[in-house]
Amino acid sequence: MSIAPRKDRPAMRLLVVALSVVLLSTPAAAQDMPAMPTSSQDQLVDRVAAVVGDSIILMSQITEQMLRMQAGGAPLPSDPAELAVVEGEVLEDLVNQQLLLQAAARDTTIDVSDGRVEETLRDAWDDQVERFGSEAALREALEAQGQSLASYRATLRDEIRRSLLLQSYIQTRRQEARLIPVEEAEVEAYFERERERLGRRPATLSFRQVVLLPQPSDSAKAAAKEEAERILELIRDGEDFADLARRFSDDPGSRQAGGDLGWYRRGAGLVQEFEDSAFGIREGMITGPVETMFGAHIIKVERVRGAERKIHHILIGAEVSASDVERTRTRAEEIQAAVAEGASIGDFSGEQEELGLPDSLEITQDQLDQLPSGYAQALRNAQPDQVLGPVEFPAQGNPAFAVIQVLGVRDEGEYSLEDLRAQIRERIRGEKFEERLIQDLRDRSFVEVRR
């Protein structure tokens, strides 16, 4: 489950709302939505409410944010005095948001790629079309509000870019900060305060696994390395790296971009051999071939910016044959049999491939369909200590094989402190960090509230 922000922390709660993408209410919800209450200041929508650095926040922005909250189901008070309090809270969040966005814009290590924005936009757009039933219905709802599909899409894109920029900034600053201590008494108090809002704990299943991916033969690896060396010679002879990437690279995600992988820091998810090579050369240098589980790479560090590097590569993949697949399937069957006979599944963790899949997981029964294909069917009626597999699923263009040991199955019930201790601790730690970050920005910035 997700731990909600505290009720007595309106600024942080509304900051989440302020940074969310602007989504329309469905037609039925829009019809049922009550009119916006008015305060004594409702005619001053164009007055400057606050100055933050070199930016201003208008009263109309506060009104717009409150309408978003209302459309999202948050009730607004009808009493003018109470409404004024909510307006003040929303203004506080808009100020905090602007401080964070300005800091993120100044930080040259923060980069939000167009590809990431467009991918998020596609998901948000698809969600909206699904909510309204069709793009035609969405267009009709927009036209009723005086908007076109194009203008709404542009608004979504801008909101998404700002949100991703801010998220990246907070995550980066938090990674660089010292770990903030959280006392056990704070965790216990949070749990008791939120207990009534936690709802029921869903039925869950926990398991450990070993995932095997077929590896190419030595001859296939040698052929890939030889081809990478040939391309490296072309680069040394003066041919353009990006052109060669578009012609020869086997990485579909970066090939058309001339091998551009974007900006990376150490520990950001690169394969270890690749990371060591990329961070072992200076700006403008090229190295290779570097052999990884994906094949042979030629790596170029295009730019260095603080702790980050803009990396390009050309990947020559090593072909996996049918015999490689069968050899891996047989090995997975051997592991399954050994664990079923009493061997520890942890003894085989060294054979686990780095596919972004955890070696252990606790998941709700409702989330089984979110796992790779084949998992849901294998785990739906699983029992504790059962050893399953090999479960076959596609990964990196080849079949992968998972051996799964079920650790436990829990029925629906009430949450205990033990269930949520780690999540609550992290929530409190995050709240403390954001409070300190915003206070530091306020101390170093010009903020004038005129409301």
Q: In residues, how long is the chain?
A: 451
Name the residue among 133, 331, 111, 122 with its Cα closest to residue 214: 331
Residue 274: Cβ-neighbour burial (10 angstroms; 0-12, 13-18, 19+): buried
Residue 419 lies in a domain: no
The answer to whether residues 124 and 73 belong to one domain is yes
The answer to whether residues 346 and 243 belong to one domain is no
The answer, yes or no, to whether residue 352 has pLDDT greater than 80, is: no
The answer to whether residues 150 and 30 belong to one domain is yes
pLDDT value, residue 430: 93
The answer to whether the CB of 185 falls within 8 A of the CB of 123 is no
pLDDT value, residue 176: 86
Nearby residues of 320 by Cβ (< 8 Å), 6 or more positions away: 214, 215, 216, 220, 398
Of 262, 286, 317, which residue is a domain's last? 317
* Cis geometry, peptide bond prior to residue 390 (ω within 30 degrees of 0): yes
The residues that bridge with 300 in the sheet, in sequence order, are 286, 312
Q: What is the pLDDT of residues 176-214, one digit of tens each?
A: 889 999 999 999 999 999 998 888 999 999 999 999 999
Residue 251 lies in a domain: yes
The answer to whether residues 101 and 34 belong to one domain is yes
**Domain of residue 75, CATH code:** 1.10.4030.10
Share of the chain above pLDDT 90, in %: 56
Sign of the alpha-carbon torsion through 407, 420, 211, 352? negative
Residue 1 lies in a domain: no
Which is more confidently placed, 350 or 190? 190
Phi-psi group of 139: left, alpha or beta (phi > 0 → left; psi -120 to 50 → alpha; rest → beta): alpha
The span from the CA of 210 to the CA of 347, in Å, is 10
> Directed axis angle between helix 184-194 and helix 417-443, to 10°?
110
Q: For the whole prediction, is pTM greater than 0.85?
A: no
The answer to whether residues 150 and 94 belong to one domain is yes
Q: What is the pLDDT of residues 217-273, one digit of tens each?
A: 899 999 999 999 999 999 999 999 999 999 999 998 899 999 999 988 888 778 889
pLDDT value, residue 22: 52
The span from the CA of 293 to the CA of 187, in Å, is 42
Of 273, 289, 317, which residue is a domain's last? 317
Q: How many domains does the chain have?
A: 3
pLDDT value, residue 354: 63
Cα-Cα end-to-end distance for the chain: 38
Mapped onto helix, strand or coil, the DSSP state of residue 101 is helix
Name the residue among 97, 264, 115, 118 with its Cα closest to residue 167: 97
**Domain of residue 303, CATH code:** 3.10.50.40
Q: Which domain holds residue 370?
A: 200-214+321-412
The answer to whether residues 189 and 224 belong to one domain is no
Q: Which helix (H) or strand (E) holds 290?
A: strand 286-292
The span from the CA of 420 to the CA of 425, in Å, is 8
The answer to whether residues 52 and 188 belong to one domain is yes
The answer to whether residues 57 and 147 belong to one domain is yes
Per DSSP, the residues of 116-152 read: HHHHHHHHHHHHHHHHHSSHHHHHHHHHHTT--HHHH
The answer to whether residues 327 and 223 belong to one domain is no
The answer to whether residues 226 and 78 belong to one domain is no
Of 268, 291, 317, which residue is a domain's last? 317
Residue 116 lies in a domain: yes
CB atoms under 10 Å from CB of 45, counted, come to 14
Nearby residues of 118 by Cβ (< 8 Å), 6 or more positions away: 157
Residue 5 lies in a domain: no
Sign of the alpha-carbon torsion through 371, 375, 379, 385? negative
pLDDT value, residue 26: 54
Mean pLDDT calculated for residue range 20-38: 48
Q: What is the pLDDT of residues 285-300, one digit of tens each?
A: 999 999 988 899 999 9
The answer to whether residues 204 and 267 belong to one domain is no
Residue 391 lies in a domain: yes
Residue 354 lies in a domain: yes
The answer to whether residues 402 and 332 belong to one domain is yes
Mean pLDDT calculated for residue range 151-180: 91
Residue 155 lies in a domain: yes
The answer to whether the CB of 55 falls within 8 A of the CB of 21 is no
